[in-house]
Amino acid sequence: MNYSSIVDLINDKISGEWGKPSEKDNDVFVIRTTNFTNSGKINFSDIVKRNIDENKVFKKHLVDGDIIIEKSGGTPNKPVGRVVYFEDPANGTYLTNNFTAILRPNPNKAFPKYLLYALLNNHLRGKTFRFQNKTTGIANLKLDNYLKTKIFLPKLEDQKRIAQVLTDCEELIAKRKESIALLDELLKSTFLEMFGDPVKNEKGWKTKRLNRFGNFKNGLNFSKNEKGHIIKSLGVSEFKSLSTIYKTESLPTISVFKYPSKDYFLKNGDLVFVRSNGNKKLVGRCIAIYPNDENVTFSGFCIRFRLKSEKLNSIYLTYLFKNENFKNRMLSKGRGANITNLNQTILGNLEVVLPPIDMQKDFELKVHKIEDLIKLQKEHLKQLQNLYGRLGQDAFKGELDLSKVVLREEFSIIKEVNNIPEVHKSEEQSKIVYQDKITLPPITDEEAEDIKWEKFDPDKPLKLRIEDVSSEFLAGLIKERFRKHHFSMEMLVKCFEEEHKMEISYYSSEQLKKKPYLHERQDLKKFIFSAITSSNQSNLNPFLKLEQVFYDAQKENFDLKLSARDYKVFKEKDAYQRSGIYFKIVE
- Percent of the chain past pLDDT 70, that is, above it, reads 83
455 lies in some domain: no
Helix residue ranges per DSSP H, 196-323: 314-322
Note whether 217 and 121 are same-domain residues.
no
Residue predicted with more confidence, 553 or 422: 553
- pLDDT tens for 32-61 read 999 999 899 999 988 999 999 999 999 999
The residue ranges of DSSP E strands in 52-125, in sequence order, are 67-70, 72-73, 83-85, 94-96, 100-105
524 lies in some domain: yes
Note whether 35 and 127 are same-domain residues.
yes
Query: Band of the pLDDT at 514, cuts 50, 70, 90?
Result: low
Average pLDDT of the residues in 285-297: 95
Note whether 228 and 133 are same-domain residues.
no
Note whether 8 and 147 are same-domain residues.
yes
Question: In the chain, what is the straight-line distance between the N-terminal and C-terminal CA atoms, in Å?
Answer: 66
Q: What is the pLDDT of residue 14?
A: 96
Note whether 31 and 130 are same-domain residues.
yes
Task: Count up the domains in the chain and report the number.
Answer: 3
Single out the residue in 394, 412, 430 at which a domain terminates. 412
29 lies in some domain: yes
Question: Which candidate, 386, 1, 400, places its Cα nearest to that of 163?
Answer: 400
Whole-angstrom distance, CA of residue 101 vs CA of residue 14 = 6
Note whether 141 and 210 are same-domain residues.
no
For the beta carbon of residue 310, count every other beta carbon within 10 angstroms.
8
Note whether 147 and 285 are same-domain residues.
no
The residue ranges of DSSP E strands in 32-179, in sequence order, are 48-51, 67-70, 72-73, 83-85, 94-96, 100-105, 132-135, 138-141, 150-152
pLDDT averaged over every residue in the chain: 84
31 lies in some domain: yes
Single out the residue in 374, 395, 412 at which a domain terminates. 412
Single out the residue in 354, 377, 397 at which a domain terminates. 354
Whole-angstrom distance, CA of residue 278 vs CA of residue 434 = 51
Note whether 474 and 346 are same-domain residues.
no
Note whether 232 and 339 are same-domain residues.
yes
Residue predicted with more confidence, 118 or 524: 118
Whole-angstrom distance, CA of residue 312 vs CA of residue 7 = 65
161 lies in some domain: no
Note whether 139 and 245 are same-domain residues.
no
554 lies in some domain: yes
Note whether 146 and 235 are same-domain residues.
no
The dihedral through the CA atoms of 380, 382, 386, 391 has a sign that is: positive
Output the domain CATH number for residue 76. Answer: 3.90.220.20
- pLDDT tens for 363-417 read 999 999 999 999 999 999 999 999 999 999 999 999 999 998 999 888 876 555 4
Contacts 24+ apart (CB under 8 A), 246-251: 246/290, 248/289, 248/291, 248/294, 248/296, 251/296
436 lies in some domain: no
Note whether 213 and 279 are same-domain residues.
yes
Query: What is the residue range of 240's domain?
Result: 206-354
For the beta carbon of residue 94, count every other beta carbon within 10 angstroms.
22
278 lies in some domain: yes
- pLDDT tens for 262-288 read 999 999 999 999 999 878 888 999 999
